[in-house]
Amino acid sequence: MAKRVLKHSFSLLHIDYVKLNSKWNYSNIISPYYRLYYIDEGEGLISGEKDRILLEPGYLYLIPSFTLCSLNCQFYLSQYFIQFFEESVAGISLFANNRTVMKVQAMSQDVESLKRILEINPGRGINRSNDPKVYEKNIYYREYQELNNLQSMSAYMETQGIILQLISRFLTDQTFKPSNITSIPSKVLEAVSYIHLNLKENLSVMHLAERANQHPDYFSRIFQQATGERPINFIHEKRIERAQYLLTTTNMPYDEIAAKTGFETTPYFSRIFKKVTGMTPGQYRQQNRSVFKF
């Protein structure tokens, strides 16, 4: 068996056990963090881009980061939920090729794990006003990291282990193909890391190919084979993911966000943003400021 090195870690954002009603009703959410739910009572609905999934007792649900979805509860729903950020050495998400809502039947150890992670991370629920005038998300994201830094090493390691254990329940042959990540050539991994670290620079296929000491056509071909995306599309997606984060967590003006994410002009930034997300930057910011989503 080939030796595998764990290349992903996760930063806890929120965890809680909540009882919900019809006020839990949010449309067209795209967040930079993962959501994991376990339902123990009631009923709800998650609508993805292609399907609608019933939230029902006894099941785990995973929504990867940057996955478009809508959440709804008509009457009553109680759930354990975890929100967390993913960090990857190569900058490639575990679910880069499967950004869809996933559902698996929970096992008894899953429920015990959820209770345990809640126990060792007290006070990590969502306790703020939904009013955007009260709630500032740039403070919100900074605060979660400060709380993680205050964890004891044992609590931090156990939290990581439990999140990994719960995520492993969704890494089936149908939803995850290890070859998509483990067989990526080193030249492509280096290019991916370079893209993430230099999003605001003038990135081009020619420049990336020169850094890899390869012909642009050959470089583009192996990059697409490894990541499923042409280099320019990959660059656009990563720039837009960064822009989504800035739109959600700051009051930065659109022209400044465009500059920080490598777009030469604001109109070009707006055009690519809408192409990737289906919304203008203004619509995305308004949607994510109008209600607090969990």
Model pTM? 0.64
- Alpha-carbon span 26 to 289, nearest angstrom: 12
Confidence tier at 91 by pLDDT (50, 70, 90): low
Q: With H, G, I as helix, E, B as strand and everything else as coil, classify residue 15.
A: strand
One of 3.40.50.720, 2.60.120.280, 3.30.930.10, 3.40.50.150 is the CATH number of 8-168, namely: 2.60.120.280
* Mean pLDDT computed over every residue of the chain: 82
Give the model confidence (pLDDT) of 210-227 as tens digits: 999 999 999 999 988 877
Q: What's the pLDDT at 130? A: 36
For the chain, give the percent of residues with pLDDT over 70.
81
Q: Which CATH superfamily is domain 184-290 in?
A: Homeodomain-like (1.10.10.60)
CA separation for the pair 287, 152 (Å, rounded): 36
Measured between alpha carbons, how far is 38 from 59 in angstroms, rounded to an integer?
Answer: 6
pLDDT score of 133? 36
Phi, psi of 184 (to 5 degrees): -70, 125
Residue scoring higher pLDDT (44 or 10): 44
What whole-number distance in Å separates Cα of residue 52 and Cα of residue 34? 18
The distance of Cα 163 from the centroid of its chain, to the nearest Å, equals 14
Q: What is the mean pLDDT of residues 166-191?
A: 69
Start-end ranges of CATH 2.60.120.280 in the chain? 8-168
Per-range mean pLDDT, top range of 90-104, 152-166, 248-262: 152-166
Region(s) of the chain under CATH 1.10.10.60: 184-290
- Across 114-118, 185-189, 222-226, least confident range: 185-189
DSSP 148-196: HHHS-HHHHHHHHHHHHHHHHTT--TTT--THHHHT--HHHHHHHHHHH
Q: Give the integer Cα–Cα distance in Å for 231 and 219.
A: 9
